[in-house]
Amino acid sequence: MASFLFLSVLFSFLRFTSSIPSIGITYSSTVSPPPPPLPAKVSSLISTLKITSVRLPDPDPSLIKAFAPTNTSLFLSISNSHLPALASNGSVALSWLRRHVLPFYPRSKISLISVGNTVLDSTTIQDFSPFLLPATRNLHHALQELGINKIQISATFSFFSTITTAFPPSSAVFQQPAGDLIIKPLLQFLEQTNSSFLINIYPYNLFRLNSEIPIGFALFQDNLFNFRDDPVTGIRYFNLFAMMADAVLTAMAAMGYQNIPVVVAETGWPSGGSQAEEVEANGVYAEMYLKGLVRHLKSGAATPLKKDGMAEVYVYELMDHGGGNNERGRKWGILTENMTMKYNVEFSSGAKNSGICLVAIWLTNWLLITSMNLILGFIGVQG
């Protein structure tokens, strides 16, 4: 009986730990301070930081090749400007794959390709949304034609241009008319191809838009009043990130696609703002956010509404850069422009695994001692 109890509890524990999302980083080579670091230096640096997943919004072939000797998983993105050509002609999709994937795969461990990035944002100069679905399908067919079946194809959206509300999460749905015209057929495609739904989640931006949100709630701080209860589900949320993530899951479930994994393509907290009034954009808060995020993800409760609801999370971004528009003009990097580490944050899975081992050892010892006490008690009764 004791052996059965031990195996049951240990099996449940191991299943729980499997729900921890991997934590990656975004590296934007085109916005690095000139001249950009050599690709080999970037790949070596990321390996040194023990980050095992990298998102490349502008995947230069030389950069993709540089990750071949490493064990780093690559998430490539195709810029919105390429969508019209990809949508109109399948040969364009083949050409893109022959340049960015075929020469390097599988040595370079490309696992995911995003067709476009936040195409529904109202701030974009051109509306690329009509091209999203045909471009995605053409790229998927091109991969099949090349005999590559293990690379996911999806598209990345922004929380603010996609989801109606963050609170309560149980009330969230996709914004219309894009929800029915764009997102629903894409979700159907993702379900058919076993791919993930990609979305950018920035608690910093939501905090700035809503003065009622406490700063501690946005920064994963364990204070007495840092929680919100969903009146429908009864789930208590202790941070804004989890609330926004569950709002995404609720919107997907409302369309009947609750089993598709979610990948957070971008999240972070800036250490410097693009405007003088952004006093919360500072290094202290940025480090608190990143440490809280990593702690939250490693706890196995990334999405309280649904176990295994989140597959991966990518921090934005590797390095600071100057210039750009209002959003990218902020300092989001975990490194400065000269590649100096800004924060003391452990991103690797090593710390997570060591924690799991310690708990597993403690659990094993506790069960063995309990079993021994039961046996000794039984012998004493028989005597």
Digit-coded pLDDT (tens) for 156-215: 999 999 999 999 999 999 999 999 999 999 999 999 999 999 999 999 999 999 989 999
Alpha-carbon distance of 346 to 294, in angstroms, equals 8
Cis previous bond, 39, omega within 30: no
Pick the CATH number of 19-350 from 3.90.1180.10, 3.30.200.20, 3.20.20.80, 1.10.1240.10: 3.20.20.80
Q: What percent of the chain has pLDDT over 70?
A: 82
Residues in the chain: 383
User: Residue 40 region, left (φ>0) first, then alpha (ψ -120 to 50), else beta?
Assistant: alpha
Q: What per-residue confidence (pLDDT) applies to 123?
A: 53
Nearest by Cα to 72 from 356, 348, 357, 353 = 348
Q: What per-residue confidence (pLDDT) applies to 17?
A: 42
Q: What percent of the chain has pLDDT over 90?
A: 68
Alpha-carbon distance of 367 to 172, in angstroms, equals 43
pLDDT at 100 over 50: yes
Alpha-carbon distance of 24 to 190, in angstroms, equals 21
Alpha-carbon distance of 55 to 186, in angstroms, equals 21
pLDDT at 353 over 50: no
Domain ranges, ordered by start, for the chain: 19-350
Q: CB within 8 A of 316, min separation 6: which ones?
A: 26, 200, 266, 267, 268, 332
Confidence of residue 125 (pLDDT cuts 50, 70, 90): confident
Confidence of residue 328 (pLDDT cuts 50, 70, 90): low
Per-residue pLDDT tens for 275-303? 777 899 999 999 999 999 999 999 888 88
